[in-house]
Structure 1
């Protein structure tokens, strides 16, 4: 437990000291224009935007800041983000999009790359889907690193030091080299990695712990934070177009359903005597909860993930298991299937599905990666990766037998 307190304490951070996640048995720019024309409220792809809506949007007060290129000094280039220095075999595999890949059902077991550079815990990692040789990592050392994983030269391509406090989450946009990150400086920041420029800053009155792009519209993203506020931001208008408020505890994770019409939130209930609101399913456009009694066990759930194909989602529970739920009403918990044997122990440990949805991987407080069969929930393989907790797991978006992982000790390992 002392490890958690030490890693989350930051003398340079003037915000309230972040508390660790715990279980409770009593409760538990781009330069404008970036994307298509602006929309002041959630406009899913193909929706009409009236002149009145556009006028209302232009008269609103923006809560974001446009950044000048003179501030790009927080960008440090140490390698290359291009594919030029990657072995031809790897480039060919990346270009193939893994069609007809013979190792689709293989299980990663061989260490492929060791990525060292963070000086404190790594909270999150994310592969780029458009430039699949690049991996982003977010650290408690206030830094976001971009890794050219298979480079023959320097694997750490660049360091992004735009945040002035610990970085909690990082996500690649589906459009080019744009990267979104958030953290304890109460901001989410959009960065053009190719130009080394911070292009937009989205400011809040809370520590921002999680961000998630809309699956069908990368100009929209969700953010959730320490005061329990969830916002839907539109990059095109620099504004929060929807607010989802329900007097929640700190937001631990948000996840869209595969159709993008609903999202699921997880909040901290450890300080409460009730587990209501631990997991909520929301209607994206109407800003209303569809169900707030999805998970009634008295544990916090630091991670929510939707299955890529089936109408289900899973929740990492501080009860040391992953629970599985339906994404269709009444969003019922499957009481007969759960993914067990790994440990959570109060760490914000994440899990993820494989490309084909047939495997579920989870980090663990014992430093291991656990690979489960999605259908049977049996452990397929345990990989001892780190000496400290394994925090996040990311299956590669093209190569089905490649998986990245990060640790509380600051290291990142890629297996194949």
Structure 2
């Protein structure tokens, strides 16, 4: 039997050899050499056409690829490696925009931060005027690029700040073509407005520099203001201290010496009866239309007790009064004036009250109807004499009043409340003309004020979507109603029984609350009309059998108070029906007012 290489039968020698080289390390070099020689012999005939790229063993290279977040290197890279030209793949951990701020062949690349407006201003200034600011960060660079002479002539102003003098504008205005006529669309004399061309071509720079049609208009306005300051200012009609009224009838009294304040019992004998004593019905036909307003009507109020007069408010700032029975009807509109109208006999306007310089917001009669309050967006509240048309007093705290209400008690007719735009309810004393109390718990403008509980309390609604109840003359809320699903309620009306009040909610429904505990009566909910965005007035028939409301489509909707069902939908106007009033002594007569400027009487 053939023995293996280096075999020895001596057990001692085998043991010593194994102890010295247990893993056969001594034979590793010889075996590796033999394998290398065999591979070289086998590949001697092959040809290697690949270029020799790596001049150094990659395992022995000391270069290190670092990440942007690294703060130190554990290998000292030789200077020769750091100065080598860029080659090979891109560093996956490097920023792709790291070469943007390096030097370029065309010059030095600098990074600047500026707004869009500043860039456009400098760009247009350089394009039109021939100079611009130098954005270079080099301290030795010039401050201006372009023409230094032009920059000094314009006082180094940019295109957006450069303005010509008044003499230059006048001179340039003569060189510009006319704007044309607005009525001519095409052809000679057609309207071109601010796009009017120039008679010469040398004015383009001045035009782009800000000397244009707008400057011409500003110049004309400045001249008009200068002339206005030189001349004596003419007092504005309806301003404070300039209140007046005009009577449009033939005589202030009749043959018996009675004015339009007296109810016409001869023409309307039902006025002597108690209001609500007769059964009421839903009206169906329009029997009269008043067209005295030039803009939309916003509010109407009937004369207390008898209802033979009514005031209507419109967006033409006028207040007009009309007569229902025996010819007087009051109409309040938004034109700095108030007017009194005749309804039953001739339907003419009897008196116009001038006093507000802006739209009238609300009006309110006193208990006897001899005086009424008006408030408008001119921040004024004025007390008028209904019969003579004289402005008795004026009140203002600098805020816009949204609602005014007299205190209903006979011994408190010298007190009224006003809901203001600054979230407060102001209490005024007419005798002293001063504010006696403020209620300031609301978080939005106050829209309505309604007296309840024998006039000892009142309820207010606001844009903050809450209902708050107050004790009169005590600025502490006794009841606070606010639910997540509630909407603003800009109109509130008291039921003839005084036990409930109905609130117009802007989510297209009418909600009913009791006046004793201020809880909502969930069994009475009236819906089916569209009033979202409109403060449409809620109304009750004198007997309390019907509840009515206008809507945004010009309809008047009537519901049964007991069942809550819609009984009739009357198409009254072409625009939103914002206000309506039931006549207290008639069974089925309703006055409606709309933003179409019309007031109609229905029966």
1:184 CA displacement: 0.4
Counterparts of 1:243-392 in structure 2, within 5 Å, are 243-269=438-464, 275=465, 278-329=466-517, 331-392=518-579
CA contact (8 A) 2:540 2:547 kept: yes
Could you say what secondary structure the match of 1:90 adopts? Answer: coil
Structure 2 residue corresponding to 1:164, chosen from 351, 354, 357: 357
CA displacement, residues 117-165 of structure 1 (integer Å, 9 cap, x when unaligned): 1122211100102553211011211111111233422432222121111
Could you say what secondary structure the match of 1:375 adopts? Answer: coil
Q: What TM-score comes out, normalization by structure 1 length? A: 0.75
Counterparts of 1:229-244 in structure 2, within 5 Å, are 229-244=424-439
1:112 corresponding residue in structure 2: 287
Could you say what secondary structure the match of 2:543 adopts? Answer: coil
1:400 CA displacement: 3.7
1:75 corresponding residue in structure 2: 245
**Greater relative contact order, per chain length (Cα 8 Å cut-off, separation 6+):** 1
Structure 1 residues not aligned, in runs of 5+: 1-66, 270-274
CA distance in 2, matches of 1:252, 1:259: 22
CA contact (8 A) 2:280 2:542 kept: no
2:80 corresponding residue in structure 1: none
CA distance in 2, matches of 1:112, 1:71: 38
CA contact (8 A) 1:283 1:289 kept: yes
CA, structure 1 residues 215+359, in 2 after alignment: closer, same or farther (shift >3 Å)? farther
Structure 2 residues not aligned, in runs of 5+: 1-237, 253-258, 325-342
CA displacement, residues 185-223 of structure 1 (integer Å, 9 cap, x when unaligned): 112111112112010111122111111222223322221
CA, structure 1 residues 86+221, in 2 after alignment: closer, same or farther (shift >3 Å)? closer
CA displacement, residues 64-85 of structure 1 (integer Å, 9 cap, x when unaligned): xxx9x9845x312223784599
Q: After alignment, is 139-148 or 172-181 more displaced?
A: 172-181
Structure 1 residue corresponding to 2:584, chosen from 382, 397, 401: 397
2:298 corresponding residue in structure 1: 123
CA distance in 2, matches of 1:312, 1:281: 14
CA distance in 1, matches of 2:483, 2:393: 36
CA contact (8 A) 1:258 1:308 kept: no
For the pair 1:409 / 2:586, whether they are aligned, the reply is: no
Structure 1 residue corresponding to 2:379, chosen from 165, 175, 186: 186
CA, structure 1 residues 304+98, in 2 after alignment: closer, same or farther (shift >3 Å)? closer
1:138 corresponding residue in structure 2: 313
CA distance in 2, matches of 1:154, 1:143: 17
CA distance in 1, matches of 2:495, 2:546: 10
Structure with the higher fraction of residues in strand conformation: 1
Q: How many residues align?
A: 338
CA distance in 1, matches of 2:571, 2:276: 30
CA, structure 1 residues 85+244, in 2 after alignment: closer, same or farther (shift >3 Å)? closer
CA distance in 1, matches of 2:523, 2:346: 49
CA contact (8 A) 1:370 1:382 kept: yes
CA distance in 1, matches of 2:532, 2:261: 42
For the pair 1:153 / 2:339, whether they are aligned, the reply is: no
1:404 CA displacement: 1.1
CA, structure 1 residues 398+213, in 2 after alignment: closer, same or farther (shift >3 Å)? farther
Could you say what secondary structure the match of 2:269 adopts? Answer: helix
Cα-Cα RMSD: 2.6
1:99 CA displacement: 8.0
1:195 corresponding residue in structure 2: 388
Counterparts of 1:6-155 in structure 2, within 5 Å, are 71-72=242-243, 74-79=244-249, 82=259, 90-97=267-274, 101=278, 104-130=279-305, 132-149=307-324, 150-155=343-348
Q: After alignment, is 124-133 or 161-170 more displaced?
A: 124-133
1:339 CA displacement: 0.7
Could you say what secondary structure the match of 1:399 adopts? Answer: coil
CA distance in 1, matches of 2:473, 2:261: 43
CA distance in 2, matches of 1:307, 1:84: 27
CA distance in 2, matches of 1:247, 1:97: 38
Q: After alignment, is 217-226 or 77-86 more displaced?
A: 77-86
Q: After alignment, is 292-301 or 189-198 more displaced?
A: 292-301
Larger Rg, first or second structure (1 or 2):
2
CA distance in 2, matches of 1:110, 1:401: 10
CA contact (8 A) 1:83 1:91 kept: no
Could you say what secondary structure the match of 1:292 adopts? Answer: strand
Q: What TM-score comes out, normalization by structure 2 length? A: 0.53
1:398 CA displacement: 2.5
